[in-house]
Amino acid sequence: MVSCAVPPAIDEANLVDNPKIVVNRTVLLECPVSGSPVPDVVWLKNGEPLSPDANMNVAGRHLEIIRARVTDSARYTCVASNEAGELRRSFDLEVLGLTFTLIGWRTDIFSRTYLVRSRLCYRVASVSLSSVCDVMYFG
């Protein structure tokens, strides 16, 4: 019987290049790889071997980040290899953190203080995707 080695290939059909997730949510990165023999998969974070911690599960072609933190924002790369070759696929994960920016206070005639407006911001590096909303606060 003759066997041919087939280099790794990745099915790109359902992959998201730049996944974005809100802080404290779970994200699953998948490396849907095929080849013969079945490729081994290792994960890198910013080009360095991934050192999983308590909020990461690595299971071959799956990388799960549980309760994502802003510090989990990085370029994650799956490296699939077998005797016929090697293939890399990167994902630029952005974890969006929540911050509040005070816009103004108001005191009524009964000396009660209200937060007039606040801005709920999703911050990624220096980019802010914001929506302004009214928030009632009594002090």
Query: Higher-confidence residue: 102 or 77?
Result: 77
If phi > 0 it is left, if psi is from -120 to 50 it is alpha, else beta; for residue 47 that is left
Taking only the tens place, the pLDDT of each residue in 45-66 is 999 999 878 899 999 999 999 9
| Per-residue pLDDT tens over the stretch 72-88 | 999 999 999 999 999 99
Q: Which amino acid is at 120?
A: L
Domains and CATH numbers, the chain: 6-96 (2.60.40.10), 97-133 (no CATH)
42: exposed, middle or buried (C-beta count within 10 Å: 0-12, 13-18, 19+)? middle
| Whether residue 52 has a cis bond before it, omega within 30° of 0 | no
Q: Is the pLDDT of residue 119 over 50?
A: no
Percent of all residues in the chain with a pLDDT value above 90, rounded to a whole number = 52
The answer to whether 45 and 58 have CB atoms below 8 angstroms apart is no
Residue 70: φ, ψ to 5° = -60, -35
Greatest CA separation found in the chain? 92
Q: Does the structure show a pLDDT above 60 at 121?
A: no
Tell me if 72 sits within 8 A of 34, measured CB to CB: no
How high is the pLDDT of residue 46? 96
Q: What is the mean pLDDT of residues 27-42?
A: 95
